[in-house]
Structure 1
Amino acid sequence: MPTAPRRSDAPPPRTGNSETEVLRGFLDYLRNSIAAKVEGAPEPQVRTAAVPSGTNLLGLLGHLTFVERSTFLGEEVTDWQATFQAASTDSVAEVVARYRAAVEDANTVLDECTDPGAPVPRPRPGRPAPSLRWALTHMIEETGRHAGHADILRELIDGTTGR
């Protein structure tokens, strides 16, 4: 395994004092961390499983794209396991761009949410939306979990560490 230069770790974000500012600040911090882990990762290792479960960097970021769109935009996902598989034609840049677009779309919705106890305003007929507080906390947990997986996978690929 080649040894990549070690990136310095970014400290936790400085945020405003409101509950929503703190939650959004930490979510954005994690979003940027996982996107940075995938950006520049070499082919074919970026899509190659390094563990028996089949987990790979592109699949993790693709999955998080679906989770963002489901949680904040109300998009339906019928097969969550399939969201971990990147298409063979997807480039790293395309997967990262789709993720960043999903984050931007989610943030557009979040910019209009002021009450952490109010439901996320997403269209999903017949299914209640979670509160903003729940949605942000869930996305911090989900993104943080997969960012940790991405840390390990990227280090196994080319030695890159840090955020």
Structure 2
Amino acid sequence: MIDDSAKAYLHNYLQHLREAMLAKVDGLSEYDARRPLTTTGTNLLGLIKHLATWEARYFGEVFDRPFPEPLPRWDVEAERLADMWATEHESRTDIVDRYRRVWAHSDATIKALAIDAPGHVAWWPRPDVKLFGVLVHMLAETSRHAGHADILREELDGAVGTDAESMALQEHDPTFWAERRATIEHAARAADPANA
């Protein structure tokens, strides 16, 4: 049986991941926080903006508790992917503060509703859902993007960890990681003689 202890567990884990996302932009320049680091333009501040948009939608309109601020639309072509990057007119503070306002709104929904409260996700093939399913979905979505953020931040400045403290207390120095990478590269090449 799924009960309030399951709801609390999922909610606490979601909060941990939210904080981890914000830690990934701590100490970075404006440019590094928002610059595209993949072919598709993935960037740290855009991931936070994206998570804020979709968390607001999932814990808002899905349960008839709309977030009180405008959101980019998923069903309007001109607004698709607008949540994946920050314009020059959006400050880091604006985006981070909005994410925190979304948390408060989402937390109020999670607190107010039973774990089996019904919701409706209009963009899903099976749109009738329960709060439990949405909690699991947002946990998976946030976890997925936290993993992206881990890799992006490591590429930017070598920082690893899930919070500001662990990112500041690096267990190994750059020499250790260079040697480790060389060992892994050697093993990869040895496993495929065509690349040796």
Q: Deviations over 1:12-41 (max 9, x none)?
A: xxxxx8111111111111111111112332
Q: What is the distance in 1 between the residues matched to 2:104 and 2:91?
A: 20
**Percent sequence identity over matched residues?**
37
Q: Deviations over 1:63-121 (max 9, x none)?
A: 0010111001115623442210212122222211111111111101111112x222259
* 1:130 corresponds to: 129
* 1:99 corresponds to: 99
CA contact (8 A) 2:47 2:149 kept: yes
Gapped runs of 5+ residues in structure 2?
Answer: 122-126, 163-196
Q: Does 2:146 correspond to 1:159?
A: no
Alignment CA distance shift 1:28-1:89 (3 Å) = same
Q: What is the distance in 2 between the residues matched to 1:67 and 1:35?
A: 16
Q: Superposition pairs for residues 1-163 of structure 1, below 5 Å?
A: 18-74=5-61, 75=66, 77-78=73-74, 79-114=79-114, 116-120=115-119, 130-163=129-162
CA contact (8 A) 2:120 2:129 kept: no
**So what's the TM-score if we normalise by structure 1?**
0.78
Root-mean-square deviation (Å)? 2.2
The aligned amino acid for 1:39 is D
The aligned amino acid for 1:47 is R
* 1:10 corresponds to: none
Q: What is the distance in 2 between the residues matched to 1:25 and 1:101?
A: 17
SS at match of 1:53: coil
Q: What is the distance in 2 between the residues matched to 1:119 and 1:65?
A: 22
> Relative contact order (C-alpha < 8 Å, sep 6+): which is higher?
1
**So what's the TM-score if we normalise by structure 2?**
0.66
Alignment CA distance shift 1:98-1:40 (3 Å) = farther
Q: Deviations over 1:118-138 (max 9, x none)?
A: 22599xxxxx66311111000
Q: What is the distance in 1 between the residues matched to 2:24 and 2:148?
A: 10
The aligned amino acid for 1:154 is R
SS at match of 2:24: helix
